[in-house]
Amino acid sequence: MGDLVDWANNNKDKIHPVKYAADLHFKFVSIHPFRDGNGRTARLLMNLALTEAGYPVVNVFPDEESRNKYMDVLAKSRRKNDPEIFENLIGEYTEKALKNRIKILELNEHNIEQARKETNL
């Protein structure tokens, strides 16, 4: 666990934030320090790293297909000892979260403009 903390402290500003967050998740799950809750803790650490870097929270989507894809990619990445496989998935999730954030901001902008027109401001 100490090696993970050292890695996290030494690489936070050296690696792209999305790659760093995915690798932090991957490394934590690979250590598997707790009897229960390792996945939840890993996703929390990943999202902490993402939000500290200004990215939105990435959700592992609750539908069964998405969850299975997440679990399969994580297992494949661990089996092949190739974090890039998992990094790509987290990159996709991050891109989707960013696109959703943009849609929300555009909708907010539209709603503000509509309110201005309706109130003659």
- CATH number (domain holding residue 10): 1.10.3290.10
Count of domains observed in the chain: 1
Q: What is the pTM of this model?
A: 0.87
Q: Give the chain's residues under pLDDT 50.
A: none
Dist. CA 89–CA 111, nearest whole Å: 33
Which positions make up the binding site?
A: 36-43
Owning domain of residue 65: 2-119
CA dihedral 8, 82, 96, 98 (to 10 degrees): 30
pLDDT of 110: 93
- Note the pLDDT tens digit of each residue in 59-70: 887 789 988 999
DSSP class per residue in 51-105 = HHTTPPP----SSHHHHHHHHHHHHHHHHTT-HHHHHHHHHHHHHHHHHHHHHHH
CA–CA–CA angle 108, 62, 55 (5° rounding): 45
Phi, psi of 9 (to 5 degrees): -65, -35
**32 given a catalytic annotation:** yes
Say which amino acid occupies 42. Answer: A
Which positions make up the binding site for ATP?
A: 36-43
